[in-house]
Amino acid sequence: MVRSIMVAALAATATALSASRHAARNVELFTIDLGSGETQIVTEEEKWALKKEGKTFMDITNHPNLASSASPKRAVAAVAYPSAMAQEDTVKSLIGKLDKTYAEEKLTTFSNFFTRFYLSDQGKQASDWLLSEVQAVLEASGAKGASAKAFPHNWVQSSIIATIPGKSTDKIIIGAHLDSINQRNRTGRSPGADDDGSGCVTTLEALRVLLTDPKIVAGEGLNTLEFHWYSGEEGGLLGSGDIFDAYSENKTVVKAMLQQDMTGFGSNPMGVITDRVDSGLTAYMRKVIDAYTEIGYVDSQCGYGCSDHASAMAAGYPASFVIESAMDITNQDIHTDRDTIDKINWDHLLEHAKMVVGYAYELTFAEL
């Protein structure tokens, strides 16, 4: 115990000295949370160096309450999920409408932006394009009270939130991140076809199909359905941090959040992430995969702050993350100019879309 206290004190002293040294040079500083109570104060370049080393973290500079060491720590809300599927006939009918051609067309355009880096003008153009696509889907459906809006940040690229109201304002959320990065050259070509263009298009196609259901369109769901596309994930979960911290401060009720980050590579079973997630919702996702997909799953781990579900958890919301495969066999070309559309397996992407449709429809109509 004494040794632990001494180590913690030495770490705090080192962090303070580092901050003082950077402040003396008038360098902008960021506070990052690496989990287990470990935070560091870093420069922009130091932050990206950690990313290159494969370190995952949350940038909590503007949201200290999201830190793993925050006190009092936000407890994740307890939700009792259904023990079995209750909407199988409708869901199976809906997943029969999923369209690989539509998904390929949209991902081709999305990955053709030179980069979607969140600090770039091209990144802003990409988020503006995606917002227009989401709005077109909503308008075509005529969904009662539905909306799609930009969620602005203090950088140029916006996040996007699409809302399909239900009988209550309690939210069922599907998330993906819309930014991309080339870690060798942040101003270089960054198609991000798999990371996370695939997740963005998976959720867009699931949204399109769900809005062919007359009950969803009429607002008859028991819960409100939201689709999120986050900016700045590659910079430390920045966009989702802004959104979920704001939801927590406004006492917004979120019953479930599912993250879709990389859904299009390979033909292996899906990877159900088991660390930094809600165990009850994760158990439910295994049932959804069994009921509505054909490729099955394996459990896997991805580390603290590996994608935007971690922001939801940090804000006190139950979240889950299902990725394209076990983490050790995911796409190795991400964060480079080689993350291109020719690597996408469209059948695999549609398996994720089936899961999203099942998750969204079942929980929209579930009493939670």
In this predicted structure, what is the pLDDT of residue 328? 97
The two three-digit tokens of residue 161, written as one number: 């939130």
Q: From 3.40.630.10, 3.10.450.50, 1.20.120.80, 3.40.50.150, which CATH number describes the 88-364 domain?
A: 3.40.630.10
Which tens digits make up the pLDDT trace of 151-179?
999 999 999 999 999 999 999 999 999 99
Query: 199: closest CA among 257, 263, 105, 137?
Result: 263
Task: Count the residues in the chain.
Answer: 368
Q: What is the mean pLDDT of residues 101-106?
A: 97
Residues of the chain with CATH 3.40.630.10: 88-364
Cβ–Cβ < 8 Å for 264, 324: yes
The two three-digit tokens of residue 26, written as one number: 């008038």
Answer yes or no: is pLDDT of 2 > 50. no
pTM for the model:
0.93
Tell me the catalytic residues: 177, 195, 233-234, 261, 335
The two three-digit tokens of residue 158, written as one number: 């916006």
The two three-digit tokens of residue 24, written as one number: 């003396």
- DSSP at 121: H
Query: 227: closest CA among 106, 348, 356?
Result: 356
User: What's the gap between Cα 87 and its chain centre?
Assistant: 25
204-237 core/surface letters (b: 16 or more CB in 10 A; e: else): bbbbbbbbebeebbebebbbbbbbbbbbbbbbbb
In this predicted structure, what is the pLDDT of residue 12? 46
